């Protein structure tokens, strides 16, 4: 087989070359608020979505889906084989903690301290064939998390 290519073909191949990953590893990572307290309101959940999307974009994690409820977060993302899931989780939890506490100081009171997230987290590997099924599962989970928001001063009235 002759591997000599004409110069225009060689140039076209060089210009279009991109690194190819043989695999992308998908993970479903879940973690909860400290003490699993249901303190996250809609404004906190919106901020969590925004922060996780920004962190994944910056760190080149292949974000697939984010679902946050009143007491926890579920993130489905893909990593390159050179990236560590522990480092990705540390980045996401650390960045969201710092920003949430700056934007929403009431979380310090509700969670009794400077820790937003429990130190534990769960990781589930997801095969490429199951990614769409997992998205459906997370969409269902999102619908179950949609509970009418209770006013902040509701407990004080009782």
- Please enumerate in sequence order all residues whose Cβ is within 8 A of that of 121, keeping only pairs 6 or more positions apart, or say none: 29, 30, 31, 89, 93
Q: In this predicted structure, what is the pLDDT of residue 123? A: 94
Q: Are 79 and 48 in contact (CB under 8 A)?
A: no
Burial of 117 (0-12, 13-18, 19+ CB in 10 A): buried
Domain-embedded: residue 141 = yes
* Model pLDDT for residues 5-22, shown as the tens digit of each residue: 788 777 776 666 555 555
Please give the tally of structural domains in the chain: 1
State the pLDDT confidence band at 157, using cuts at 50, 70 and 90: very low
Q: In this predicted structure, what is the pLDDT of residue 30? A: 94
Domain, as residue range, for 105 = 21-146
* CATH number, position 101: 3.30.70.1290
Can you give the pTM of this predicted structure?
0.73
Domain-embedded: residue 137 = yes
Domain-embedded: residue 99 = yes
Domain-embedded: residue 10 = no
Tell the residue number behind the tokens 């939890």, with chain if given.
Answer: 93
Q: Where are the alpha helices (DSSP H) in the chain?
A: 7-16, 42-59, 85-103, 106-110, 131-145, 154-157
* Model pLDDT for residues 25-79, shown as the tens digit of each residue: 899 999 998 888 888 899 999 999 999 999 999 998 999 999 998 889 999 999 9
């Amino acid at each position: 087989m002759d591997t000599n290519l004409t110069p225009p073909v060689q140039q076209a191949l060089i210009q279009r070359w991109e690194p190819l990953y043989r695999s992308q590893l998908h993970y479903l990572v879940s973690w909860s608020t400290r003490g699993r307290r249901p303190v996250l309101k809609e404004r906190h959940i919106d901020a969590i979505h925004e922060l996780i999307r920004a962190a994944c974009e910056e760190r080149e994690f292949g974000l697939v889906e984010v679902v946050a409820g009143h007491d926890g977060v579920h993130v489905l993302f893909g990593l390159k084989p050179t990236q560590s899931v522990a480092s990705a989780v540390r980045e996401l939890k650390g960045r969201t903690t710092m920003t949430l506490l700056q934007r929403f100081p009431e979380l310090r009171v509700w969670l009794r301290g400077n820790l937003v997230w429990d130190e534990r987290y769960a990781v589930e590997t997801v095969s490429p064939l199951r990614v769409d099924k997992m998205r459906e599962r997370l969409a269902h989970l999102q619908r179950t998390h949609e509970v009418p928001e209770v006013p902040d001063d509701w407990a004080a009235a009782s």
